[in-house]
A and B are shown apart, each in its own frame.
Chain A
Amino acid sequence: MADLRINLAGIKSPNPFWLASAPPTNSGYQVQRAFEAGWGGAVWKTLGDPILNVTSRFAAIGFNGQRVAGFNNIELITDRPLDVNLKEIYETKKKFPNHAIIASLMVEPKQEKWHEIVKRVEDVGVDGLELNFGCPHGMAERGMGSASGQVPALVERQTYWAKEVAKTPVIVKLTPNITDITATAEAACNGGADAISMINTINSLMGVDLDSWNTIPHVAGKGAHGGYCGPAVKPIALNMVAECARHPHINVPISGIGGISNWRDAVEFMLMGATGVQVCTAAMHHGFRIVEDMIDGLNNYLDSKGIAAVSDIIGKSVPKYSDWGNLDLNHNIVAKINPDVCINCNKCHIACEDTSHQCIDMLTDVNGKSYLKVREEDCVGCNLCSIVCPVDGAIDMIEAPRELAPMTWNDRQTALSVAVECKADVAK
């Protein structure tokens, strides 16, 4: 059994699986049940001036039989009075002293507002704070959430105000609704953040009903953009975590959030630099008990790799993530079709012929049996055929023998600029 404990900027938890600030962490009843099920930490549903919600609030997109591939909400922060939440946080912490309870906070961008709420939640014994600069709807129209989170100067200033009075670690939760998340991550660091977390939800409109022409969801015939999350956002979130992890000026721990549904996703986020992960949609879809599989799967994975502690995998893939200009242009892979496994559905041929490089031939052998074959010299190794192939193992992407030494775009541009300079010298 590996050691699954994590320490994120001083916040300790028995495992890296935290519930994200959202409906699953709305009350003491829920958080206590979550801890009993095995969750290592919980970020309480965002606290602030209690709000008013609309119905309906959620919508989801299914894809090819998978329900909830993407999830959308127009729910705001907590609608419960602060005192009620604080009492339940206090009781929960007393019952579960070794689990992490983080208070998510959102107030107007005013120094006194931040001071007041930080002091009040710390009085009941939270392990840390998460500043919610990410909620993209509703609260943003009032200058909070992602409206603050999209302006680096506001992120820095509000983080600074929270840090002026905070005694526990401050995590800044970032919005993905920005071109370059490292700008706001850096601002959080400049404001004194002890850690950052990402991502909150992505601006989205789930659909339009073709009969009523109403938005999905709609509130009495009117819609407003919501926040997108769930499995569909995982690649976006993973990239944002990785970009922050490899950024030279962002040197605080990261709590990874966005589409994490199982232990594999969690491992990917940790390899890409997250110290721990937070989960919302997967818990809303399947319930608290999914954490059992997450813990078992992570344990088995670490044991199978001979890794003693989960903290040993943090950031191990970060050095492998770089800019396009540092990739080797002379590395070649080609597709190889395995005729014993191929079912001759021709999907690869159609994809290659219509939309790629026309290098998969439909042939007939001496016995009149049809088969598919890649002309390797024309294959550009794009992967499309293996992506559309419905049968595992029918198409392998294999490394072609290396003909030229490794060369990146950046190497090439340097060599070209030298050639241009030489020519100028010769001309002189």
Chain B
Amino acid sequence: MSDYQQFLDERDKIDFLIQKGCQIYGVREHLNGASVDFLHPNGNVTETLLIGTANGRKYFSSLLISQNQPKN
């Protein structure tokens, strides 16, 4: 799979969780990229995605920044 295809795949998985109302609530960076923890809106179910592509890591970081911004 090309880097771009892998990025699209990772982005889809992230978008799917965000659309379900999940929020990023933890990020662990390591030699294989980043493990991103998502928290369900009900507050107790978490899911973790391994994000390996550079564009994928830019993508969730941008989402995290907008998530941290105060909503009007």
| Chain A residues engaging chain B, CB cutoff 8 angstroms | 329-330, 357, 377-378, 404-405, 407, 411-412, 415-416, 418-420, 422-423, 426
Query: Which of the residues A378, A411, A419 comes within 8 Å of B27, measured between beta carbons?
Result: A419
B12 at the binding interface (Cβ < 8 Å) = no
Give 20 new A-B contacts, CB below 8 A, not counting A416-B29, A419-B64, A426-B25: A329-B58, A329-B61, A357-B3, A378-B4, A405-B62, A405-B65, A411-B65, A412-B61, A415-B61, A415-B65, A415-B68, A416-B61, A416-B64, A418-B68, A419-B24, A419-B25, A419-B68, A423-B25, A423-B26, A426-B39
CA distance A419 to B66 in the complex (A): 12
Q: List 11 A-B contacts (CB under 8 A).
A: A329-B61, A378-B3, A405-B62, A407-B62, A415-B65, A416-B61, A418-B68, A419-B26, A419-B64, A420-B26, A423-B25
Are A423 and B64 within 8 A (Cβ)?
A: no
- Chain A interface, >50% SS class: helix
Are B58 and A404 within 8 A (Cβ)?
A: yes
Are A407 and B27 within 8 A (Cβ)?
A: no
CA distance A404 to B56 in the complex (A): 12
Q: Which residues of chain B (44-72) have a CB below 8 Å from chain A?
A: 58-59, 61-62, 64-66, 68
- Return the 3 tightest CB-CB contacts between A and B, nearest first: A423-B26, A404-B62, A412-B61
Query: Which of the residues B2, B58, B62 comes within 8 Å of A378, measured between beta carbons?
Result: B2
| Chain B residues engaging chain A, CB cutoff 8 angstroms | 2-4, 24-27, 29, 37, 39, 58-59, 61-62, 64-66, 68
CA distance A404 to B29 in the complex (A): 21
- Chain B interface, >50% SS class: helix
**B4 partner residues in chain A, CB cutoff 8 A:** 377-378
Q: Name the residue on B nearest A376 (C-beta).
A: B4
Query: Which of the residues A330, A377, A416, A426 comes within 8 Å of B58, measured between beta carbons?
Result: A330
**B61 partner residues in chain A, CB cutoff 8 A:** 329, 407, 412, 415-416
Q: Name the residue on A nearest B39 (C-beta).
A: A426
CA distance A357 to B66 in the complex (A): 30
**B58 partner residues in chain A, CB cutoff 8 A:** 329-330, 404, 407
Are A330 and B25 within 8 A (Cβ)?
A: no
Q: Name the residue on A nearest B3 (C-beta).
A: A378
Q: How far is the CB of A325 from chain B (nearest CB, A)?
A: 13
CA distance A415 to B62 in the complex (A): 9
CA distance A418 to B3 in the complex (A): 29
**A377 partner residues in chain B, CB cutoff 8 A:** 4
CA distance A244 to B37 in the complex (A): 43
Query: Which of the residues B25, B59, B66 comes within 8 Å of A422, measured between beta carbons?
Result: B25
Q: How far is the CB of B9 from chain A (nearest CB, A)?
A: 13
Are A416 and B25 within 8 A (Cβ)?
A: no
CA distance A288 to B29 in the complex (A): 58
**A415 partner residues in chain B, CB cutoff 8 A:** 61, 64-65, 68
Are B37 and A405 within 8 A (Cβ)?
A: no
**B24 partner residues in chain A, CB cutoff 8 A:** 419
**A420 partner residues in chain B, CB cutoff 8 A:** 26-27
**B59 partner residues in chain A, CB cutoff 8 A:** 404
Given A378-B2, A407-B58, are A412 and B65 also a contact pair (CB < 8 Å)? Answer: yes
CA distance A423 to B68 in the complex (A): 13
Q: How far is the CB of A420 from chain B (nearest CB, A)?
A: 7
**B2 partner residues in chain A, CB cutoff 8 A:** 378
Q: Name the residue on B nearest A406 (C-beta).
A: B62
CA distance A405 to B37 in the complex (A): 22
Q: How far is the CB of B16 from chain A (nearest CB, A)?
A: 18
Q: How far is the CB of A382 from chain B (nearest CB, A)?
A: 13
CA distance A422 to B25 in the complex (A): 7
CA distance A426 to B2 in the complex (A): 37
**B39 partner residues in chain A, CB cutoff 8 A:** 426
**B65 partner residues in chain A, CB cutoff 8 A:** 405, 407, 411-412, 415
CA distance A326 to B2 in the complex (A): 29
Q: Name the residue on B nearest A377 (C-beta).
A: B4
**A357 partner residues in chain B, CB cutoff 8 A:** 3
**B26 partner residues in chain A, CB cutoff 8 A:** 419-420, 422-423
Q: How far is the CB of A351 from chain B (nearest CB, A)?
A: 18
CA distance A419 to B34 in the complex (A): 13
Are A423 and B3 within 8 A (Cβ)?
A: no
**A405 partner residues in chain B, CB cutoff 8 A:** 62, 65-66
Q: Name the residue on A nearest B7 (C-beta).
A: A377
CA distance A357 to B64 in the complex (A): 28
Q: How far is the CB of B28 from chain A (nearest CB, A)?
A: 9
**A412 partner residues in chain B, CB cutoff 8 A:** 61, 64-65
